[in-house]
């Protein structure tokens, strides 16, 4: 194998491991020390070492084990440099425990223990500021950068970055335990865990064509984490509702691109292309959740997705029911994102003018100035009311904010279709 081929193979292998196991490795490294930042730094250096070593010596048969061994050694080096005396001795002892086993695991295909659930609930500990819990889970478990997380939560990247750093320091300083909480502790933590999983799914779902490497496989990982939480809490209706919501959305993935790879909006999708098995699983989860008699955001979100299945059965969407569900969801969450989607549903029932009136209260929300769906929705509604100049302007902003080339082309086509 040539040097160039070795470099490429190492990069491909490292990229695959990062997408497949990043959160699992960070969780394992941080579980003993409760130092998330050091675990992330050590893993980053381990990946850098891999890209230097693997082209020369070949990719290991167990790359996760190789990375884990190198990262744990890096963490020991960090402690030696930063601390001294008894404190360093105790910390080094913790890190050294199991190091030989980890090295042996690199030579054998031994499963690395999965501490991801424990890490998620640690990040959602009451010691953490409520608003940073879900973003912290996204960065620590999925490796998302501050800018991407900030976009998902409509916060500036600089502010998000500062909050994340402070949160990781607090985990270490407060000695937050990495464990699944007791039943009585769950209500105060579960919301942040579910919010993080949904945010991850939304980021991955927004890139249905897989064109953005940073978001690739996020939807699949979020589904896996949602399944873990639902299995842990089979009687928790919101966990069931979230999993149902994601399954319903994922079921429509095959219809979101046409044969030429172009974006197809929900209203124009062929329902026969939706995945029946996922829809059936989602409906069963919603039925289980409804029997528990405790309504929440994710059950309503799941019910909204379920309402679209009506078109698959009858050929016609039940927009009146969808508007009612959005009314309930908006009253519960107050989310501007929900308000945007509600307005689009109102347009189907009462017309675009009524929808624009419903969106009017969002005009002064500065969080939406860089939020592409707001401008795309506004452009669509303005076009339907024949406000062509305003619609062109809104489309221009939406096109500039869109990252997916296929969606960008779709918006450009809609803009071009506006009569002069």
Sign of the alpha-carbon torsion through 346, 347, 352, 356: positive
The answer to whether the CB of 73 falls within 8 A of the CB of 103 is no
Tell me, what's the pLDDT at 106? 45
- Nearest-Å Rg of the Cα atoms of the chain is 24
The answer to whether the CB of 326 falls within 8 A of the CB of 335 is no
Sign of the alpha-carbon torsion through 303, 308, 313, 317: positive
226-237 pLDDT, tens digit per residue, is 998 999 889 999
DSSP for residue 36: H
How far is residue 233 CA from its own chain's centroid? 20
Rounded to whole angstroms, how far apart are CA atoms 136 and 192? 10
Tell me, what's the pLDDT at 382? 97
Rounded to whole angstroms, how far apart are CA atoms 141 and 39? 11
31-55 pLDDT, tens digit per residue, is 777 788 888 999 999 999 999 999 9
Q: Which residue has the tokens 């030579």?
A: 107
Rounded to whole angstroms, how far apart are CA atoms 347 and 335? 19
Tell me, what's the pLDDT at 142? 81
Q: At what angle do helices 388-401 and 405-416 cross, to 10 degrees?
A: 170
156 forms bridges with which residues in the sheet?
Answer: none
- Which residues of the chain are under the pLDDT cut of 50? 85-87, 98-100, 103, 106-107
Burial class (CB in 10 A: 0-12, 13-18, 19+), 74: buried
Sign of the alpha-carbon torsion through 85, 91, 92, 97: positive
Angstrom distances, CA of residue 411 to CA of 135, 203, 297, 400 = 30, 19, 30, 10
Tell me, what's the pLDDT at 68? 87
Token digits of residue 142: 């999925």
Tell me, what's the pLDDT at 216? 53
149-178 pLDDT, tens digit per residue, is 888 788 889 999 999 999 998 888 888 877
Record the pTM: 0.82
């Amino acid at each position: 194998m040539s040097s160039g081929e070795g470099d490429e193979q190492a990069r491909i292998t490292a990229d695959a491991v990062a997408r497949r196991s990043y959160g699992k490795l960070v969780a394992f490294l941080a579980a003993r020390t409760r130092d998330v930042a050091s675990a992330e730094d050590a893993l980053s250096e381990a990946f850098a070492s891999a890209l230097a070593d693997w082209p020369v010596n070949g990719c290991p048969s167990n790359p996760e084990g190789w990375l884990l061994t190198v990262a744990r050694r890096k963490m020991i080096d960090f402690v030696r440099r930063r601390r001294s005396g008894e404190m360093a001795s105790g910390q080094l002892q913790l890190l050294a425990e199991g190091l030989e086993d980890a090295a042996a695991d690199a030579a054998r295909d031994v499963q690395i223990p999965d501490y991801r659930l424990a890490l998620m609930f640690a990040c959602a500990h009451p010691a953490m500021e409520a608003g940073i819990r879900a973003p912290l889970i996204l960065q620590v478990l999925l490796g998302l950068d501050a800018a991407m997380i900030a976009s998902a939560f409509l916060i500036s990247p600089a502010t998000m970055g500062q909050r994340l750093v402070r949160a990781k320091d607090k985990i270490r300083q407060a000695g937050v335990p990495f464990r699944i909480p007791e039943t009585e502790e769950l209500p105060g933590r579960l919301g942040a865990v579910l919010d993080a999983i949904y945010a991850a799914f939304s980021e991955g779902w927004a890139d249905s064509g897989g064109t953005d490497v940073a978001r690739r496989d996020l939807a699949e990982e979020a589904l896996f984490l949602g399944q873990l939480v639902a299995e842990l809490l089979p009687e928790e209706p919101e966990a069931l509702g979230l999993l149902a919501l994601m399954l319903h959305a994922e079921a429509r993935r095959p219809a979101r691109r046409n044969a030429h790879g172009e974006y197809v909006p929900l209203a124009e999708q062929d329902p026969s292309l939706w995945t029946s098995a996922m829809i059936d699983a989602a409906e069963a989860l919603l039925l289980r959740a409804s029997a528990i008699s405790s309504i929440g955001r994710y059950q309503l979100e799941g019910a909204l997705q379920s309402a679209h299945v009506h078109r698959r059965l009858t050929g016609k969407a039940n927009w009146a029911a969808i508007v009612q569900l959005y009314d309930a969801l908006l009253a519960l969450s107050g989310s501007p994102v929900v308000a945007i989607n509600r307005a689009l549903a109102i347009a189907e029932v009462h017309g675009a003018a009524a929808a624009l009136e419903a969106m009017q209260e969002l005009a002064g929300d500065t969080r939406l100035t860089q939020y592409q769906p707001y401008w795309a929705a506004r452009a669509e509604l303005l076009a339907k009311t024949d406000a062509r100049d305003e619609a062109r302007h809104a489309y221009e902003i939406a096109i500039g904010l869109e990252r997916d080339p296929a969606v960008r082309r779709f918006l450009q086509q809609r803009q071009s279709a506006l009569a002069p």
